[in-house]
Amino acid sequence: MKLNDPSLLRHQCFIDGAWCDADGGATVEVRNPATGQPLGQVPHMGAAETRRAIDAANAAWPAWRKKSAKERAAILRKWNDLILQNAEDLAVIMTSEQGKPLAESRGEITYAASFIEWFAEEGKRVAGDTLPSPWPDRRVVVTREPVGVCAAITPWNFPAAMITRKVGPALAAGCPIVVKPAELTPYSAFALAVLAERAGVPRGVFSVLTGDAQAIGAEMCANPTVRKLSFTGSTAVGRILMQQCAPTIKKLSLELGGNAPFIVFDDADLDAAVDGAIASKYRNSGQTCVCANRLYVQDGVYDAFAEKFVAAVRKLQVGNGLEANITQGPLIEEKAVKKVEEHIADALAHGGRLLTGGKRHMLGHGFFEPTVIADVSTSMRVASEETFGPLAPLFRFKTDEEVVQLANATEFGLAAYFYSRDIGRVWRVAEALETGMVGVNTGLISTEVAPFGGVKQSGLGREGSSYGIEDYLVMKYICMGGL
Ligand SMILES: NC(=O)c1ccc[n+]([C@@H]2O[C@H](COP(=O)([O-])OP(=O)(O)OC[C@H]3O[C@@H](n4cnc5c(N)ncnc54)[C@H](O)[C@@H]3O)[C@@H](O)[C@H]2O)c1
Ligand SMILES: O=C[C@H](O)CS(=O)(=O)O
């Protein structure tokens, strides 16, 4: 891996301001999903190291919360600046371990930094209230305080942004935080820790440890010192963590699975809808929680949209994300490829019609042909399961009522998209969709300024926006008497 600053590539965890190995020396290998080549070994830690990180966070908390929001913001601003100054190295590290094209990695680094910048400012705007007292001799005051020691568990698909979307508000609110990144993509997390240390984040305030996910997670959930857990990942794991947190009543943020409907109405700008569908479906080779997972196209434009969409899909360039002009990197691992194959086989077995792609790419490893299947029905697995890969199933529908019912027929409720130029239809459909986020005439909705999150079994809480810091604060009512 060619870096301008090779010191950004660390093979150790960061606990209490020190770079360290696992207690017993155990390690796990990290590979480049595009080549299968090993990138290095990282520590395989467990509960004991997690306890140390939590204790260090607790020890660091008083001094961190005592700093003014402005002092914390200055350190966060420095961290943001260092991330942007080292963006190219961070992007190379990300593409090497996750596989996404370099252009997408650069975009993610900018996106990741934006949460640090945003919450540096949000922290300075955390205010309380004085409320009209019902008593002449007492005053009613409400203050907002940091919730305490936080823990975070993050996924492999956005190895930097899913971390800063948690660490940014935590630190801005005055909370220390211990992060466990995905075992498949640890290097981006370690590099963020290198830059946080350089920015002046005090020891113990931000720790990063890799290893036995179940053991680390169980310690984070059971340890009473941890007052809040923030998780981004699958709904299945979210359920486990929610159950494990119950005995200690932790504050929970859950950013979970999705199954986004993408609806094209007959009054849509079809070229714009194709552009939006490509952006939403094939970003990160379909490995994002807000990817279009089900494409519903109204009868009158179905064939025209399918033709335009397939032509655009065929222009996607599959290859190693470190090479120029690549727009589709590999899937993260073999089981991800197998899931796409299973969804394709199931759809074709139930009457689906393959329009393009359909099999592993000739490049091997995790590479897969961008695929489109027509004549898809609700009897197929793609109708109810998150594919998390470059497969676009095209469903046909007739009426607005029908497609809203189909779109909502899932336990998920993260993102939804639709294209229409009828203002009445736009408002009726946007309000009827059971999701936390709706893209109207756009396939890209993610930004630090908006509340990101889902309803139903796509999660709890919101990340980003001025709402995102709420999850790291608690409210205190002070009744000021004796006046
Ligand atoms: N809503 C969002 O913002 C969002 C963002 C990205 C990914 N996701 C979802 O995440 C899933 C894909 O990511 P993934 O495969 O990494 O998810 P995953 O749930 O398998 O893993 C996520 C993280 O949880 C850890 N983990 C796994 N089992 C655990 C356990 N028993 N205890 C503690 N930690 C455990 C993993 O090591 C990883 O760090 C998809 O469902 C996707 O929709 C959601
Ligand atoms: O996987 C979903 C993440 O939240 C990525 S993004 O926020 O949509 O870019």
ipTM for the complex? Answer: 0.96
Q: What is the reported pLDDT for 241?
A: 98
Q: What is the reported pLDDT for 442?
A: 98
At 372, is the pLDDT very low, low, confident or very high (cuts 50, 70, 90)? Answer: very high
Task: Please state, rounded to an integer, the average pLDDT across all residues of the chain.
Answer: 98
Q: What is the bridge-based pairing of β-strands 437-440 and 415-419? A: parallel
Pick the catalytic residue from 108, 122, 197, 255: 255
Q: What is the reported pLDDT for 329?
A: 98
The residues pairing with 38 across neighbouring beta strands, listed in sequence order, are 31
Distance 237 CA to ligand 1 centre (A): 7
pLDDT in tens, 382-421: 999 999 999 999 999 999 999 999 999 999 999 999 999 9
Ligand 1 within 6 A of 155 CB?
A: yes
| Radius of gyration for the alpha carbons in the chain, expressed in angstroms and rounded | 23
Distance 301 CA to ligand 1 centre (A): 37
Ligand 1 atom closest to 216 (CA): 33
pLDDT in tens, 134-171: 999 999 999 999 999 999 999 999 999 999 999 999 99
φ/ψ of 359, rounded to 5, equals: -155, 170
At 272, is the pLDDT very low, low, confident or very high (cuts 50, 70, 90)? Answer: very high
Domains of the chain (ranges; CATH) run 6-256+458-479 (3.40.605.10), 261-440 (3.40.309.10)
Ligand 2: residues with CB < 6 A are 157-158, 288-290, 446, 452
Ligand 1 atom closest to 156 (CA): 16
pLDDT in tens, 177-196: 999 999 999 999 999 999 99
Sheet holding 353-356, edge to edge: 353-356, 371-376, 391-397, 292-298, 260-264, 415-419, 437-440
Q: What is the bridge-based pairing of β-strands 391-397 and 260-264? A: unpaired
Burial 51-69 (b: 16+ CB within 10 A, else e): ebbbbbbbebbeebeeeeb
Distance 180 CA to ligand 1 centre (A): 11
Average pLDDT over residues 271-288: 98
Distance 290 CA to ligand 2 centre (A): 6
Ligand 1 within 6 A of 159 CB?
A: no
Whole-model pTM? Answer: 0.98
Share of the chain above pLDDT 90, in %: 100
Q: What is the reported pLDDT for 210?
A: 98
At 51, is the pLDDT very low, low, confident or very high (cuts 50, 70, 90)? Answer: very high
Share of the chain above pLDDT 70, in %: 100
Residue having the nearest C-alpha atom to atom 6 of ligand 2: 446
Residue having the nearest C-alpha atom to atom 9 of ligand 2: 446
Ligand nearest to the CA of 232: 1
